[in-house]
Amino acid sequence: MFPKGTKRKFSDSGEEPVSSSDQGQAASSAAAARTLSSSYSLQRQSLLDMSLIKLQLCHMLVEPNLCRSVLIANTVRQIQEEMTQDGTWQIMTQALAAAQCPADRLVATEVLCRQTDAAAQAGQSPKPFSGDVETEVTMSTLSPVSPQLSSASYLAGPFGEQVFGTFEIKHPAPPPDPALEELFSDVDPSYYDLDTVLTGMQSAPKMGPYDLLESLSSHGPTALSSSSSCRSDLNELDHIMEIIVGS
Amino acid sequence: MSSLQWNLTRQGTCWPRGDKGGRVVIFQRETESKGESEEVGDTGDSGEYNVYSTFQSHEPDFDYLKSLEIEEKINKIRWLPQQNAAHFLLSTNDKTIKLWKVSERDKRPEGYNLKDEEGRLKDISTITSLQVPVLKPTDLMVEVRPRRVFANGHTYHVNSISVNSDGETYLSADDLRINMWHLGITDRSFNIVDIKPANMEDLTEVITAAEFHPHHCHLFVYSSSKGTLRLCDMRASALCDKHTKLFEEPEDPGSRSFFSEIISSVSDVKFSHSGRYLLTRDYLTAKVWDLNMDKGPVETYQVHEYLRSKLCSLYENDCIFDKFECVWNSSDSVIMTGAYNSFFRMFDRETGRGVTLEAWRESSKPRAVLRTRRVYTGGKRRRGDVGVDSLDFTKKILHMAWHPSENIIAIAATNNLYIFQDRVNPETQTQ
């Protein structure tokens, strides 16, 4: 039922303070974390990851389904609330801040969202996640699927910031992925500009997450490969990619 | 197949089937006279159904403003109450609702004075006498014509349409809004419910279904993704954002999980024919609510409780988001809903007992008696039991309809339509 072989880097590190008892600060959150069985937190983490992937894929569905997106987002919020109460959320975000997230991960969303508005909002703090969030919000207002609730537009609050950060966690820490860099090296940024998006080239926004997804499937959890819906999405995207590349 | 509904006509019975391609197919029951039949109440029908008419309801469209394709897939069909010889039905895709007139022509006027048989004008000098044109029978021709197009009323995907008991208005509901239309006016609609938050980031609940009360033209109900039902009275205010009654079952803290909200989302809501009860379907159960009691359902029927332990897999493969419909029989004594593996469930409200039936061509020949099926959940295993892990989740029975006065049901299964008839009690005993 649950994906096997999932890398549990940060929930493992979340459990570490439990063993090092001299950490006074971590003690209170550790006490909470200790009450959770590790299998439960594993399951919860896996559910969180799965939900975030689903939200990302919502953009790429032929028929974006608002009800489904709302239900998945509520599930994510619920998990986040519980993890915040347990203190495991703090641990995760702290670990995330400590980890060096590879810059190329951010390229994916940046390429997606390269709009003139994004430049205007570049005055925001250079923190990676708020940057992502801002550009994702821009994308959501300009993307073809904007009437449908894009996950980003309501992940954009403080919740969204952390959730987005969590999503990034799924990619293992450095070294930067050469495959991903290669993928983006010959992509023409102007391909994703405002005009292209608004003239209905839905395949454009799909490219970003698709590549992200591809990198996910190469390093990420087997949850993805075991999900038949993801596989069928990938098949569709293969087809779309062929068309794009072919033209 | 995306929507079914029965109607009752003088000749027979027909219902439309909206499918992904935007086509509506109307079937009609063939009647043959069986002069020597001794069965009381036997209409003498052969039980065969043929295609009465088929028409293209919606075409694929493109929203230029949002650069979005609008699918022609029909989400819902509803017949209007019949007022004259013609039948009217409403069909909707994600954005646009259309009113169709289905009429028959089996007569043709002949003997015009000024035109000949082919319709060409006659030379007046050749006319020596006057005749009265007469109607002569011809082959039956079914004409379906679009009469109204109700466009631009919805920003989000339309999930329900419901004709009011006044016969003049209807409602259409999308994820966040409900509009009321007059059947004769296409350029205006009234927004009667709007749950769109000022900030879309705050969105946590959507409308999943809506229906007018069968008798009271001022009452309607809508269901939400959080498992609530709201009864609204249009006399209270123009915008019915404040419900008259809120129906919600208190959550059982013992069975709470991360999937609790998703499985509580109501996929379909139907008033009983009496107008006294509501039938709702959520992922694992079907519930009957008494309009006079908003604290909780009066009856709960387990459709496939054995799936509760599989919710995570069903979330992973998206099956947990499947929207099953539910229906009442004509006397409100039986309710029916679909499940997986081509199974559907019928519950007798008086006894509370449920039965599982299968809509699958391989296992049922025409006119064969449907045998009941069982999903094995423990205890003594009987022959024919199906294990939970062998259920085919791609074979889902989402859409179904029960004839308004007879014990005939229509079940949509993937690409097939099944019609089942109760031979023992063809007419429902009315109370």
Q: Quick check: B25 pLDDT over 90?
A: no
Q: Does A121 reside within a domain?
A: no
What local confidence, expressed as pLDDT, does residue B384 receive? 83
Give the C-alpha separation, B63 to B152, whole Å.
11
Q: Does B203 reside within a domain?
A: yes
Q: Does A46 reside within a domain?
A: yes
Residue B253 CA: distances (Å) to CA of A71, A84, B43, B250, B260:
19, 20, 53, 9, 10
Task: Among A1, A67, A75, select the one facing B175 at the smallest CB separation.
Answer: A67
DSSP H helices in B224-364 = 260-264, 311-316
Q: Does A169 reside within a domain?
A: no
Q: Does A49 reside within a domain?
A: yes
**% chain B with pLDDT above 90:** 48
Q: Does B59 reside within a domain?
A: no
Q: Which amino acid is at A50?
A: M
Chain B interface includes A39 (CB < 8 A): no
Q: Does A155 reside within a domain?
A: no
List the single range of A136-150, B33-47, B105-119, B332-346 with lowest mean pLDDT: A136-150
Extract the residue ranges of chain A whose pLDDT is less than 70.
1-36, 59-63, 96, 100-247
Helix (H, G, I), strand (E, B) or coil at B52: strand
CA angle B414, B420, B424 (to 5 degrees): 165
What local confidence, expressed as pLDDT, does residue B127 receive? 84
Give the C-alpha separation, B43 to B32, whole Å.
9
Chain B interface includes A44 (CB < 8 A): yes
What local confidence, expressed as pLDDT, does residue B16 receive? 53
User: For residue B186, what are the domain limits?
Assistant: 83-123+130-421
Name the phi and psi angles at A73, rounded to 5: -65, -40
Residue A57 in tokens:
């894929």
Residue A3 in tokens:
């994906």
With a CB cutoff of 8 Å and minimum separation 6, the contacts of A21 are A27
CB contact under 8 A, B200 and A153: yes
Number of domains composing chain A: 1
CA angle B30, B31, B35 (to 5 degrees): 155
Helix (H, G, I), strand (E, B) or coil at B174: strand
Task: Among B67, B202, B205, select the one facing A200 at the smallest CB separation.
Answer: B67
Query: Do B222 and B180 meet the contact criterion of CB atoms below 8 Å apart?
Result: no
Residue A92 CA: distances (Å) to CA of A12, A19, A114, A162, B3:
10, 17, 29, 9, 46
Helix axes A88-98, A9-19, angle to 10 degrees: 110
CB atoms under 10 Å from CB of A210, counted, come to 22
Give the C-alpha separation, B56 to B71, whole Å.
13
Which of A45, A49, A70 to mutate against chain B (most B CBs within 10 Å)?
A70
Q: Quick check: B281 pLDDT over 50?
A: yes
Chain A interface includes B202 (CB < 8 A): yes
Mean pLDDT of B207-224: 96
Which of B316, B319, B322, B389 to mutate against chain A (most A CBs within 10 Å)?
B316
From B297, B322, B298, B320, select the one nearest B308 (Cα to Cα). B320
Residue B192 in tokens:
């009667």
Q: Does B42 reside within a domain?
A: no
Query: Do A49 and A128 meet the contact criterion of CB atoms below 8 Å apart?
Result: no
**DSSP state, B421?**
E
pLDDT in tens, B142-195: 888 999 999 999 999 999 999 999 999 999 999 999 999 999 999 999 999 999
Find the CATH number of the domain harbouring B148: 2.130.10.10
What local confidence, expressed as pLDDT, does residue A156 receive? 36
Q: Assign B220 a pLDDT band (cuts: 50, 70, 90).
A: very high
Q: Quick check: B413 pLDDT over 90?
A: no
Q: Quick check: B262 pLDDT over 60?
A: yes
Task: Among A71, A198, A227, select the one facing B262 at the smallest CB separation.
Answer: A71
The gap between the terminal CA atoms of chain A, to the nearest Å, is 41
Q: Which amino acid is at A38?
A: S
Q: Does B398 reside within a domain?
A: yes
Query: Do A164 and A136 meet the contact criterion of CB atoms below 8 Å apart?
Result: yes
Give burial (CB, 10 Å; 0-12/13-18/19+) of A239.
Answer: exposed
pLDDT in tens, B28-56: 776 654 333 233 333 445 566 777 777 77
Mean pLDDT of B239-266: 90
Mean pLDDT of B270-291: 97
The whole-model pTM stands at 0.69
Which of A50, A54, A63, A74 to mutate against chain B (most B CBs within 10 Å)?
A74
Number of domains composing chain B: 1
pLDDT in tens, B415-426: 778 888 876 665
According to DSSP, the β-strands at B229-233 and B68-70 are unpaired
Query: Do A97 and A128 meet the contact criterion of CB atoms below 8 Å apart?
Result: no
Bridge-partner residues for B69, per DSSP?
A: B62
B67 CA: distance to closest CA in chain A (Å):
4
Q: Does B233 reside within a domain?
A: yes
User: For residue A83, what are the domain limits?
Assistant: 31-109
Q: Does B136 reside within a domain?
A: yes
With a CB cutoff of 8 Å and minimum separation 6, the contacts of B255 are none
Give the C-alpha separation, A78 to A80, whole Å.
5
For chain B, the average pLDDT equals 85
Highest mean pLDDT among B91-95, B103-107, B321-325: B321-325
Q: Quick check: B223 pLDDT over 90?
A: yes
Query: Do B391 and B373 meet the contact criterion of CB atoms below 8 Å apart?
Result: no
Residue B197 in tokens:
């938050």
Q: Does B313 reside within a domain?
A: yes
Smallest CA–CA distance from A197 into chain B, residue: B67
